[in-house]
Structures are given as structure tokens and as C-alpha cells.
A and B are shown apart, each in its own frame.
Chain A
Amino acid sequence: MDEYIRLMNKSEDYIEQNLSESISLDDLARNANMSKYHFHRLFSKYNEETVKQFITRIKMERSGMLLIARPDLSITELAFRYGYNDASTYSKAFKKHMGMSPSAFRTARNDKPS
């Protein structure tokens, strides 16, 4: 059990080091030296979300942080940084996960009470 937890942590580290890439289940399973089926089952059990859900969530949350703290980065630049080919696809994924568009998120989080 402990070994599986370690392997899942290592997989998370791998994902976070490759957020600008399109990360496949094949890559992750190979990295963990497991079959795709076994890896996916273990990952979902340990994380309570699928590999795809985890990757998307981390990309949205990490880009959300930069939306707030990096006004110099455009939505298109952020889309490329997190492995999306265009701003539209990224914005759609962001809205689905966060409930608002990247621009609205940036404005809302940076608004300060007067």
C-alpha cells in the first residue's frame, strides 16, 4: 500500500513537471512501470478522481494562480503554458472547472473592496 502511495506521488510530481505538455496515460503508466489499466485503477482510488480529472484540475488551479498574480500574462500565453493549443479551448476548460471565464476569474480575484 505504502509503495502505491509513493508511486502515485511520483506520478503527480511527473504531471506537475510536464504541465505544458499533453500528458498521456501511456506516459504515466510507463513511468510507474505498470499496465495502463492497473495504473488508472490505482490512481483513481488514491486520488478519488481520474488521471484526466487530476491533470485538468491541476492545470486550471495553477493557471488560476498565475491569472491572479501575473497580470502581464495574456490568456493565450497561459493557454500555451498549460498545454492548450489555443485560448478558446483553455477558456472553455477553465470555465467548466472554475465556473467562470479566465478573464472574469482574474477580475474577481483581483477586485479589492474600496
Chain B
Amino acid sequence: MEKPIITVEQYEAQVIYVRFRGTYVQFRKNSRKMFNELLAYAEKYALIKEGFTKVLTIYHDNPFITDASKLRTSIAMTVPPNTVLAEEGKISAMKMEGKYAILHYELSLGEYEQAWQYAYSEEFLQQGGYTLRDAVPFELYVTEPPKGFKGTSKTDIYIPVE
């Protein structure tokens, strides 16, 4: 896996999300269903804008600290600015905002864990001079995630920094 290109940006987005509570293995088993729920809502309210809409996975807890059964993970989708949302069913809205160090990757399915490990490594944080901020990190799919283990896709990992 190649080292990512890194940028630091002030990011602000309104997102809709569906949240899961449980291990990452259980989350992966449910993620397609969760995405479909989000997609159905976005289509119902015409929220999908070509070239704008992005899908995110938000990691609310740290797997090295939180008990695996209590990990919270959300599948989210960006919505156009100033959209008035009618939250319904399991679909909620929240804002992602603040300064982030963004690691721009080209990843295959088997490389995500390694990419996250680097994002929270001493090599990246301390040597890069980044100061971690208490907010949730997330991964944003720039291109559609690969369907099999051979393909790759562009994925950005957002690490909140001060």
C-alpha cells in the first residue's frame, strides 16, 4: 500500500445517517442493508446530486478502548447545504465540521485496516505535527468501493485535528 497524499482542510457537511451498535464484523454484515435504507430515504426526498453526494462511514468509538460489542458505526451520506430534512424512521441528520487531516488513499478491500492504523500511528500524528481533536473520524468514498478483493477505489480518511 502506498503512503497517502495528505491535505489539511476545514470541512463542513450535513449528512444523513443510520447507526449500528456492535462489533465491526456484525457491522460489515449489516452495512449493505443500512446503505439501502439510507439510499431509499435519499431517493424519496431527491437528495442525491451527481458529483456532490458522497457516502461515508463514521467511527464513533475507538476499537482499542471501547468494548467491541458497544462500538457505534454509522453509514452516512452528504446532502446539499441548507437542505431542510424531515428525519424519519431510523434516519437522522448531523453535521460534520471542523479541521481535518485528510489521508487520500487508493485502497483495495484488504487494505482499510492498515490505512487506519497508519492514520493513528505515531509516525503520522506526531512526526507530521498533527494535534488530535476530540471529534469522530470517518472515511469518505471518493469513488465506489471495490466489489472484489482485486479492485481498488479512492478513499479519503478524515482525522479531526486542531
Contact = CB atoms under 8 A, between A and B. Distances in A.
Interface of A: 2-3, 5-6, 9-10, 12-13, 16, 19, 47, 57, 61-62, 64-66, 69-70, 72, 81
B134 A9 contact: no
B54 interface: no
A5 B21 CA distance: 11
Nearest to B131: A70
Interface residues of B, number: 23
B90 interface: yes
A62 B134 contact: yes
B99 interface: no
A57 B60 CA distance: 13
A69 B87 contact: no
Contact of B89 (A6, A64, A65): A6
Interface in B6-47: 17, 19, 21
Given A6-B87, A19-B134, A65 B92 contact: no
A19 B136 CA distance: 13
Interface string B40-61: 0000000000000000000011
A70 B120 CA distance: 12
Contacts of A61: 61-62, 65-66
Interface of B: 17, 19, 21, 60-62, 65-66, 70, 72, 87-92, 94, 120, 125, 131-132, 134, 136
Given A12-B72, A61-B62, A61-B65, A2 B90 contact: yes
Contact of A69 (B19, B70, B91, B125): B125
A69 B92 contact: no
Nearest to B90: A2
Nearest to B89: A2
A7 B61 CA distance: 19
A2 B19 CA distance: 11
A65 B65 contact: yes
B62 A9 contact: no
B92 A10 contact: yes
Given A64-B62, A65-B132, A70-B132, 17 more contacts: A3-B88, A3-B89, A5-B19, A5-B90, A6-B91, A9-B90, A12-B60, A13-B94, A16-B60, A61-B65, A61-B66, A64-B65, A66-B132, A69-B120, A69-B125, A69-B132, A81-B134
Contacts of B61: 61
